[in-house]
Structure 1
Amino acid sequence: MCKKSHIAEPDRKLSPVGAAGGLPKSNEGSEADNTDLETASVTSSHLSELDSIEEAAAKLGLDEEDDNSEQNDLEDKIEELIDGTTQKSAQGRQTCLDGLRAAFAKKFLPEFVQKRKATLSDCVERCLKRGKGEEQGAAALLSVLVYIQLGASVDTEEVFNSMKPILLTTLQDSSASSKARRSCALALGIGSFIAPGDYETLKSCMSALEQIFSQSYFKGDGSSPTHSPEIHKLHCAAISAWTLLLSIMSARVVGEMIESHLPKLPQLLESDDVNLRIVAGETIALFYELAREEDEEFYGDDMDELMAKLKELATDSNKYRAKKDRRQQRSSFRDIMKTIETNESPYELIKFGQESIELDSWVRRRQYSALREVLGSGTNTHLKENHLLREIFGLGDPLVIIPGTSNQLTKFERHQNNLAAFKALTKVRSKQRDKRVPVL
């Protein structure tokens, strides 16, 4: 069995973690207007938690410019937080986990994390086993940040493999809190996406996620199952993580998944939860995008019925739905219909400092959405400094800013840079894709 490349084909159009369109734009120093979040998809299950993380970051002084002495102070604070995760108080452990998440989201500290990877791994496992609800969820999300700090390395594979059994156990434990299970779904998805593990590891995680969201497919009598809002959020997280992993599978496996799930996904469009409807619709759009990479004439079964349902959701004016939900749904399904009808994907330009990335496919939106979900406002920092994110989005080595020089590129320079990056990605695309094909 060959190894998989965690970011194989960064230009390949991969899709939604929740709804990528619903995430705030990362446009530090941008001239572009902010997206109106009320008209965007909002299926991310953890964005509401970022406020508490921002508060923890403020307490640690992470928004301040740091020199060497401040860097040392920060590392000392992080050491204290790691030690604090062993205390008896559940609230105290939770506070320390939030502080660690804030530190690793806001700052890129690969050497510090690498030296303490075993300690951090033990910390996460202990809190997942010992804690409940909020604590388990925070521990699972902390594991994601450890993977992002370590990058696509043997260290990441080692840490992920040690955490994977407890993450799977918690995800599949119906007695565990839905919030903890959602975080475990995200941790399994991003962990498998980053860690350079083998094909079987990837498939086992996808299978576990399938078992979760498939519970929202129609029941035996053809009716849509009834779930609580928390279970709906869990199913959204599971299908989003599953779709992220689908984005790095070989064309053969993608074909198998399309055959297995594309006929069933429209069932989720009947859900009474707006976020599940949106994430299901965006996953359908992703399937069409991937299928048409292999067959430009891909049509799918029951196309007319599917388009009728999508049009109904894109023009929904039912008063029993919340006004905000209707706006989100109409905006999302208009984009979904365009992809299926004309093969046109939504476009968004994310600017940060002197650079930018283009989200010109459901695949890239999905990748950005997953990382943005756990990094929050630290996304810009990681896009500038973190080699993993820069490789995923084809940005190359971090820019070196010479003091006294302008931080702004001209419009022509930005265009030339984007054009060069596009040509480079296109050139290596076929080779990267071949590397993703498992050898059975």
Structure 2
Amino acid sequence: MGKKRTGDRRMRREGDDDDEVASVASVERRGTFVSDDGEFYEGYSKNVDDEQEIDDAVEELTEKRTTTRVAALEKLTAHLLQYLSPEDVSESFMDNVLGCLRKPSESEAVLGSRILAIMAIIFGEDEERFFQRSKNVLKPLVKTARNAKIKVSTIRALGLICFVCSVEEENTKDLLELFETFFNPKIIGDICKAALDSWGLVASSLSDEMLASDILLERLVPKFLALLDHKDVEVRSAAGENVAVLYESAQNCGVPLPYSEEILDRFLEMSKDSSKKNSKKDRKTQRVVFRDIHSTLASGETPHVSFSVKNEVLEISSWKSVKQFEAMKECLQTGLQEHIKYNNILRAMLDLPETLEDRKVDRRDVFNKKSASRKQRSNELKGDRKRKQHMQDAFYDDGF
């Protein structure tokens, strides 16, 4: 995706036998196996009924009843997660979603923000008008909303849309400064983590020279270090990952990271956390994450993340790429595999070759919970999740 593809990724194809195995969205990171609980479905052919359902839902976004608008947003989210081509996203579709975000309820803000983010992944780069229109409704909510869920969803959406669609460096700098305002140990975890993740995503589009500048490092490294004391393990982890992003850029430019000895000692300590004040689950999470980060800072080892879709395996080996992939995964969730299979915009972001595969199955069964294919797929995924949870538990119990 042009300037956005700043990380290290590579794609490999596995043997033909893998085509026979049902694949569930999965990430393997230095021995840590994480699986998506969401269901995904085989491809489908968009038909007249689908088009009418989308048109009806778009129209319902203008209804006075909040419950009607929320139900319509839910329907449209489901369609977008199964992937719509850019030409299937009408101007009225976009207009009405933006309209729902001008004075939104909590549900409208959460759903509407996510819809805009998914649209960005469908539209791709150099969509400055879409970014500006989205920013005009999202940024005020980021700055003034008192509801934590609204703040989290709008922060994440604004960061992703800027990363994917904006081509103006000024927009990137503006949002990085906005996200920095939430780097405070006193801010609740979900908001702080969303700001850290979005900062890492948007920053990953910048050159190493910009990220390794003395002014930026001197300002940001102390802020990230302060967040290592946050009570939320997800905030501590996100702050550590952003330090790793800055370290990689500094190394590429031959620039030392400020407080490098202090950082190494702290990360090593956190990778061996045994404090009883943290839950067992949080201690395990922190040890795994900071073991990876410490390895990067201490010996230059790169992170390793792999994601498989049928016979394709995406392998990621830089912290910039980790932040980018995690953002796409967070946004698409259950729709990630569908988009990787059919969305060439996303495939280009991930350095995967263009796909010519088309949808083959009518998707009416996707929304019918009583359909045989839906039940069969649900049972398969339940079995997969149990096996993968067992693998993860075994990994943690084996000395971690």
- In the TM superposition, what is the alpha-carbon distance from 1:302 to its structure 2 partner? 2.4
Query: Is 1:249 matched with 2:206?
Result: yes
> Does the 8 Å CA contact 2:118/2:331 hold for their aligned counterparts?
yes
Structure 1: state its 5+ residue gaps. Answer: 1-5, 15-27, 55-61, 217-224, 404-440
Structure 1 residues 279, 40: CA separation in 2 closer, same or farther (over 3 Å shift)? farther
Structure 1 residues 285, 190: CA separation in 2 closer, same or farther (over 3 Å shift)? same
> Does the 8 Å CA contact 1:13/1:364 hold for their aligned counterparts?
yes
- Tell me the distance in 2 between the aligned counterparts of 1:226 and 1:31: 37
Q: What is the match of residue 150 of structure 1? A: 123
Q: Could you tell which deviates more after superposition, 204-213 or 357-366?
A: 204-213
Structure 2: state its 5+ residue gaps. Answer: 10-20, 361-400
- Tell me the distance in 2 between the aligned counterparts of 1:137 and 1:31: 26
- Tell me the distance in 2 between the aligned counterparts of 1:85 and 1:382: 25
Q: What is the match of residue 7 of structure 2? A: 12
- In the TM superposition, what is the alpha-carbon distance from 1:91 to its structure 2 partner? 2.2
> Does the 8 Å CA contact 2:30/2:292 hold for their aligned counterparts?
no
> Does the 8 Å CA contact 1:7/1:248 hold for their aligned counterparts?
no
- In the TM superposition, what is the alpha-carbon distance from 1:351 to its structure 2 partner? 1.5
Deviations 1:65-103 (A, max 9, x none): 534xx5222121111111121222222212211221121
Q: What is the match of residue 121 of structure 1? A: 94
Aligned partner of 1:168: which letter? K
- Tell me the distance in 1 between the aligned counterparts of 2:32 and 2:313: 23
> Does the 8 Å CA contact 2:32/2:288 hold for their aligned counterparts?
yes
Structure 1 residues 31, 370: CA separation in 2 closer, same or farther (over 3 Å shift)? closer
- Tell me the distance in 1 between the aligned counterparts of 2:337 and 2:285: 26
- Tell me the distance in 2 between the aligned counterparts of 1:79 and 1:204: 36
Aligned partner of 2:180: which letter? E
Query: Is 1:165 matched with 2:136?
Result: yes
> Does the 8 Å CA contact 2:25/2:336 hold for their aligned counterparts?
no
Structure 1 residues 159, 139: CA separation in 2 closer, same or farther (over 3 Å shift)? same
Aligned partner of 2:114: which letter? L
Structure 1 residues 400, 275: CA separation in 2 closer, same or farther (over 3 Å shift)? closer
> Does the 8 Å CA contact 1:390/1:396 hold for their aligned counterparts?
yes
- Tell me the distance in 2 between the aligned counterparts of 1:32 and 1:211: 34
Query: Is 1:277 matched with 2:247?
Result: no
Mapping for residues 17-28 of structure 1, pairs under 5 Å: none
Structure 1 residues 32, 382: CA separation in 2 closer, same or farther (over 3 Å shift)? closer
Mapping for residues 294-305 of structure 1, pairs under 5 Å: 294-295=253-254, 298-305=255-262
Query: Is 1:193 matched with 2:163?
Result: yes
Q: What is the match of residue 415 of structure 1? A: none
> Does the 8 Å CA contact 1:81/1:97 hold for their aligned counterparts?
yes
- In the TM superposition, what is the alpha-carbon distance from 1:167 to its structure 2 partner? 0.8
- In the TM superposition, what is the alpha-carbon distance from 1:9 to its structure 2 partner? 5.5
> Does the 8 Å CA contact 1:168/1:208 hold for their aligned counterparts?
no
Q: What is the match of residue 78 of structure 1? A: 54
- In the TM superposition, what is the alpha-carbon distance from 1:120 to its structure 2 partner? 2.5
Structure 1 residues 13, 270: CA separation in 2 closer, same or farther (over 3 Å shift)? farther
Structure 1 residues 344, 375: CA separation in 2 closer, same or farther (over 3 Å shift)? same
Aligned partner of 1:372: which letter? K
Mapping for residues 81-120 of structure 1, pairs under 5 Å: 81-113=57-89, 116=90, 118-120=91-93
Q: What is the match of residue 268 of structure 1? A: 227
SS of aligned partner of 1:351: strand
Percent of aligned positions with the same letter in both sequences? 27
Q: What is the match of residue 186 of structure 2? A: 226
Q: What is the match of residue 291 of structure 1? A: 250
- Tell me the distance in 2 between the aligned counterparts of 1:188 and 1:254: 20
- In the TM superposition, what is the alpha-carbon distance from 1:400 to its structure 2 partner? 5.1
Aligned partner of 2:260: which letter? M
SS of aligned partner of 1:319: coil
> Does the 8 Å CA contact 1:84/1:93 hold for their aligned counterparts?
yes
Q: 1:66 aligns with which of 19, 39, 44?
A: 44
Structure 1 residues 73, 63: CA separation in 2 closer, same or farther (over 3 Å shift)? farther
SS of aligned partner of 1:395: coil
Deviations 1:219-252 (A, max 9, x none): xxxxxx434xxx3211111111111111111333
Deviations 1:391-421 (A, max 9, x none): 11222321559x9xxxxxxxxxxxxxxxxxx
> Does the 8 Å CA contact 2:131/2:166 hold for their aligned counterparts?
no
- Tell me the distance in 1 between the aligned counterparts of 2:26 and 2:234: 25
- In the TM superposition, what is the alpha-carbon distance from 1:37 to its structure 2 partner? 12
How many positions carry a matched residue from both structures?
346
> Does the 8 Å CA contact 1:258/1:287 hold for their aligned counterparts?
yes
- In the TM superposition, what is the alpha-carbon distance from 1:134 to its structure 2 partner? 2.2
SS of aligned partner of 1:315: coil
> Does the 8 Å CA contact 1:41/1:328 hold for their aligned counterparts?
no
Query: Is 1:393 matched with 2:350?
Result: yes
SS of aligned partner of 2:306: strand
- Tell me the distance in 2 between the aligned counterparts of 1:302 and 1:159: 40
- Tell me the distance in 1 between the aligned counterparts of 2:27 and 2:307: 10
SS of aligned partner of 1:358: strand
Structure 1 residues 302, 196: CA separation in 2 closer, same or farther (over 3 Å shift)? closer
Structure 1 residues 73, 32: CA separation in 2 closer, same or farther (over 3 Å shift)? closer
- Tell me the distance in 2 between the aligned counterparts of 1:88 and 1:390: 39
> Does the 8 Å CA contact 2:304/2:316 hold for their aligned counterparts?
yes
> Does the 8 Å CA contact 1:108/1:149 hold for their aligned counterparts?
yes
